[in-house]
Structure 1
Amino acid sequence: MSTQDISRTKAWVMAARPQTLPAAAAPIFVGVGLAVHDGVFAALPALAAFVGAALIQIGTNFANDYYDAVQGADTADREGFTRVTAGGLIAPKSVKRAMYLTFAAAILLGTYLVYVGGVPILVIGLLSVASGIAYTGGPFPLGYHGLGDLFVFIFFGVVAVTGTYYVQAAAVIADPLSVGIPPNTLPFDAFVASLAVAALSTNILVVNNVRDKEEDETTGKRTLAVRFGYTFSRGEYLAMLALAYLVPVWFATRQTFGGVVFLPLVTLPYAISVARTVLTKTSGEALNPALERTGKLLAIHSLLFGIGLSFGGLPL
């Protein structure tokens, strides 16, 4: 299908990139699972956290589409999914406006979460929005200087999971509008659990950067794949997979968690299948499906991990 055949509605859906939304849902699965285990589950804050995360994800997608186009990073040789700004499907100013409106909606929703979680959530929310723009925009685009992987690991993994847990715990055991972090609202378990989501979320970007390495080299986008090569990025992909599967094992060694937390390990054959493609292919034809499959792996692994956490010490 040529770009002329794509409707405006479909173009906006393409710009939002719904296939990336597992990165927004996955932290909620894990944060809710651990909250259920610890007796601090709160439905409304968890739902608000998901909607807010989805809005930040979509806003970041709009930002990437717009800034990559205006900075010349998206060329006719691009092997990835169609970008609406570079492809002329939507005017740049419209995509930029949509980016700001989406982030504004996330901030508006965040006022409720700030009421529940206080100043820590305000800081996290503003940093998340700022980083979503700074990923490809601003005077020092993170993704153009090899910092994209770290950004995804922190904000779409560690911050997203611990933040989801925190707003639930704060709603149950703390007073509204807290200035600091109330006791027992941010346990170490939440940080460890977040590492599995962080690792698999990062792998989505790794596949993207392996696929785009040749084009990124010509446009000056210095991702880790460009800086250190295919071997480094493939090693990173394997290391992130290892971390994602070691986290449930760590929880299984804890006295209050049992064999049910091993549930994510049933996805290991699927992960190995995707890894084979990433380790041997560089073309968009092969890696575009691998990108989507890595997103599916993130969603399924996180859902099963959340279920395993919520059931606590029950045996398999």
Structure 2
Amino acid sequence: MTQPMEPTLAAFQNPLARYFAATRPAFLTASLMACTIGLAVAWHDGLAFDVPFALITLLLALLAHAGVNVLNDYYDALNGTDAQNTGRIFPFTGGSRFIQNGVLTLAQTRNLGFVLMACVAAAGLWLMARSASQLFYVGLAGLFIGWAYSAPPFRLNSRGLGELCVAAGFLAITVGADFVQRKGFAAAPFAAGLPYALLVTNLLYINQFPDRVADTAAGKLHWVARLEVRQARWGYVLIVALAYIWLLALVALGRLPLLALLALFALPLSAGASRLLLRHAAQPQQLGDAIKLTIGAMMAHGALLSLALILSKGNT
């Protein structure tokens, strides 16, 4: 597999382009899709839909994800995992390489991350004032998870809680997007958003195989580092099974419309990634295609589920 070129200072002479690229914008689509699912749930439930608030919610989700990406790079530079990661599959694993390749300094990366988080907090408070006060708890949980995932003293991913953090973080985006429209909590966005959150979690999970050696050396003891490779690979399969079984159960129980079964068209992508991981877990440099299939599965699932909810407005 041919990998894209890593960033260099020569390639990013424009400071604005440099800071924008450091947020890893291609990967922000994961938050965009989580937000879309939440908005689709609100639309499906027949709520009075506020388009400007929906767009602001999308922007906040993207900014929050961008801030988390940048801060994760900063803290992974501090603990040394990215610097010693020679098994990375760029651009999917091993960080953005902006610090390691001299494109941004540690201080610039730290400052960018916290500025983005501060913007999210300020805009979130503004949105809360125009929605409902309980939105504060969703935003606080999301910001805390995004920061504590890699920051000391919590370093939640190093304690085996990274998968839980990712699932909870992306589920919070879906719930928050619905909340802004609904101005209150409901079970629907939690239920509908969980399969997508699990599929995003599997992107973190599979990305940890190429990073396993460097992460272990740096003390990032996530589950892929804690378990033997032959055992760890089955965690991916388990998460896939949970995601699609949950979707089927929701449809069977009438919590999602029958058209939501469209999201099962993402299953072959997940199955293909599972087969590749089971075959090549011990040769992580061969997992590039499996990572791409993982991304394809989560995006296809999110898009098809959102479409099903939009088209089934008022029906279950």
Query: Shorter-chain TM-score: what band?
Result: 0.7 to 0.9
Q: Is the 8 A contact 1:22 1:296 kept in 2?
A: no
Pick the aligned partner of 2:39 from 17, 32, 50. Answer: 32
Shift of 1:5: 4.7
Distance (Å, rounded) in 1 between the aligned partners of 2:222 and 2:254: 41
Shift of 1:35: 1.1
Pick the aligned partner of 2:71 from 56, 63, 68. Answer: 63
Tell me what 1:85 maps to. 99
Shift of 1:240: 1.7
Alignment of 1:6-155 (within 5 A): 6-9=11-14, 11-40=18-47, 41-76=49-84, 77-81=86-90, 82-155=96-169
Question: Which amino acid is the alignment partner of residue 162 of structure 1?
Answer: V
1:8-50 deviation digits (Å, cap 9, x = unpaired): 4565454211232132012122112211111113323322222
Alignment of 1:294-313 (within 5 A): 294-312=294-312
More helix by share: 1
Tell me what 1:293 maps to. 293
Q: Percent identity?
A: 27
Question: Which amino acid is the alignment partner of residue 102 of structure 2?
Answer: G
| 1:244 to 2:252 alignment | no
Shift of 1:152: 0.5
Q: Is the 8 A contact 2:99 2:106 kept in 1?
A: yes
Distance (Å, rounded) in 1 between the aligned partners of 2:137 and 2:313: 35
Tell me what 2:220 maps to. 221
TM-score norm. by structure 1 comes to 0.86
Distance (Å, rounded) in 2 between the aligned partners of 1:102 and 1:126: 15
Tell me what 1:164 maps to. 177
Structure 1 pair 50/292, CA: closer, same or farther in 2 (3 Å)? farther
Distance (Å, rounded) in 1 between the aligned partners of 2:24 and 2:101: 15
TM-score norm. by structure 2 comes to 0.86
Distance (Å, rounded) in 1 between the aligned partners of 2:272 and 2:152: 38
Distance (Å, rounded) in 2 between the aligned partners of 1:53 and 1:13: 16
**Could you say what the CA RMSD is over the residues aligned between the two structures, in angstroms?**
2.4
Q: Is the 8 A contact 1:8 1:90 kept in 2?
A: no
Q: Which runs of 5+ in 1 are unaligned?
A: 171-184
Structure 1 pair 259/128, CA: closer, same or farther in 2 (3 Å)? closer
Structure 1 pair 259/108, CA: closer, same or farther in 2 (3 Å)? same
Q: For this pair of structures, how many residues does the alignment match?
A: 300
Q: Which runs of 5+ in 2 are unaligned?
A: 91-95
Distance (Å, rounded) in 1 between the aligned partners of 2:311 and 2:51: 17
Shift of 1:64: 1.0
1:223-270 deviation digits (Å, cap 9, x = unpaired): 111112324432221122122222332332244754311111112222
Local SS of the residue matching 1:194: helix
